[in-house]
Structure 1
Amino acid sequence: MASTIKLDVVTPERVVYSEDVDMVIARSLDGDLGILANHAPVIAALKIGILRIKKDNRFSHLAVSGGGFMEVSPEKITILADSAEKPGEIDLERAKAAKDRAEKRLSTPREDIDQTRAEAALRRAVTRLETIDRERS
């Protein structure tokens, strides 16, 4: 019985991650899903969130933003996402500025502000910042 499973994280622009891993924890619309080798087949829609990847008894993290799907077979996990970033690829100052901008838009509701877009922008910025924090700890 295999103890690792192949993980591919792909966006329209590139392959972000492609390695054999011990476990993956992804945020789906129905909650967090933990996937190990030999998992039953699953297809799940993903939410904005942190993808946690366990390999060699260490966790690494990716920020997954926008829409996406995860397809699981017993020997492979494929994540198709609009956007996925490694912590080292995230611009900390830009993420902080995006968070501040979104919080400002949400604190002063106006008709010309799309509330749903502002909430999504805030979730993306917070996810990026949390991804950096988790990788540092």
Structure 2
Amino acid sequence: MARTFSVEVLTPERVLFSSDQVVSLTVPAWEGSLGIMAFHAPLVAALRTGVITIKLANGDEERIATTGGFMEVADNRAVILCDIAELDHEIDVERARRALQRALDRLRNFQDPTIDRERARRAKERAMARLKAAGAI
């Protein structure tokens, strides 16, 4: 039997994910991808835009697109607080593709001084995370 731990993913609106049958967790931390397994040492980490991957004891895998947040690991439990997060099956893939294309178009337009390049870069990151979580890229 696999060693498991509990994971909760929370947004201001809802409990997005909760299970005590998690085998492994991978999160997009600011320093790079961070993997967590049962009985991990306590830690707190800031998260960036990306995909949270949760592997369950029954073999299922959940992917969650996030725009960042924080994670705390202690007492064989991980709690992830996200500003915005979406489960893979909730993502509108076509909408994410359109958002990615708009962001890329804005980033390619070097002549227009009215374009906020940082905002376009963040929009591209969000769209890419959503598409990766949904398995579309």
TM-score by length of 2: 0.91
Q: Alpha-carbon deviation of 1:54? A: 0.7
Number of positions where the alignment pairs a residue of Structure 1 with one of Structure 2: 133
Which secondary structure does the structure 2 equivalent of 1:121 belong to?
helix
Q: Alpha-carbon deviation of 1:114? A: 1.3
Distance in 2, matches of 1:87 and 1:119, equals 22
CA displacement 1:84-110 (0-9 Å, x = unmatched): 111111111110110010000000033
Distance in 2, matches of 1:87 and 1:57, equals 16
- Residue type of the alignment partner of 1:19: S
- 1:57-96 aligned within 5 A: 57-65=59-67, 67-96=68-97
- 1:25-64 aligned within 5 A: 25-55=26-56, 56-64=58-66
8 Å contact kept, 1:37–1:74: no
Q: Alpha-carbon deviation of 1:128? A: 0.7
- Residue type of the alignment partner of 1:90: I
Distance in 1, matches of 2:15 and 2:108, equals 37
CA displacement 1:58-89 (0-9 Å, x = unmatched): 32211112x30011113110000111111111
Distance in 2, matches of 1:16 and 1:9, equals 5
Partner of 1:124: 126
Distance in 2, matches of 1:95 and 1:72, equals 31
Q: % of aligned pairs identical?
A: 43
Cα-Cα RMSD? 1.6
Partner of 1:16: 16
Distance in 2, matches of 1:125 and 1:47, equals 14
Which secondary structure does the structure 2 equivalent of 1:133 belong to?
coil
2:3 aligned with 1:3: yes
- Residue type of the alignment partner of 2:83: D
Q: Alpha-carbon deviation of 1:132? A: 1.1
**Stretches of structure 1 lacking an aligned partner (at least 5 in a row):** none
